[in-house]
Amino acid sequence: MSATAKLDPVVEVFVDALNAQDADRFYGVLAEDATMSDNGVEHNIAPWADAEIFSSNGHLEVDTVEQDGLAFAADFTNSRGGSLPTTWRFVVDNGLISRFETGQA
């Protein structure tokens, strides 16, 4: 079984959309007022996602899944920073991600 098979279904859509570079699906799984942080710094999601994911070919390779599929460790690769070990944590409310936090592991 792949690590993504253990993810919460909403988080799995997030990961699949990120890896497919599918911005519509990525934003479609986020609550309208979703928030996020990267290495403890709050960011507006759209500019962050454009820089870190969509304009730099971001890709996640999930390694381990925790907290009932709402957290995982992954190698995150993009053309800006290469490959980094990262952690990701999610809050899912009413079928949408209301918050995610990522950072270097």
CATH topology of domain 3-104: Nuclear Transport Factor 2; Chain: A, (3.10.450)
At 1 the pLDDT is 45
Mean pLDDT rounded to a whole number for the chain: 95
DSSP state for residue 80 in the 8-state scheme: T
Return the structure tokens found at 20. Answer: 């497919």
pLDDT at 46 over 60: yes
DSSP H or E run through 66: strand 59-66
pLDDT in tens, 16-26: 999 999 999 99
Give percent of the chain with pLDDT exceeding 70: 95
- The mean per-residue pLDDT over the stretch 88-101 comes to 98
What length does the chain have? 105
Delimit the domains of the chain by residue range: 3-104
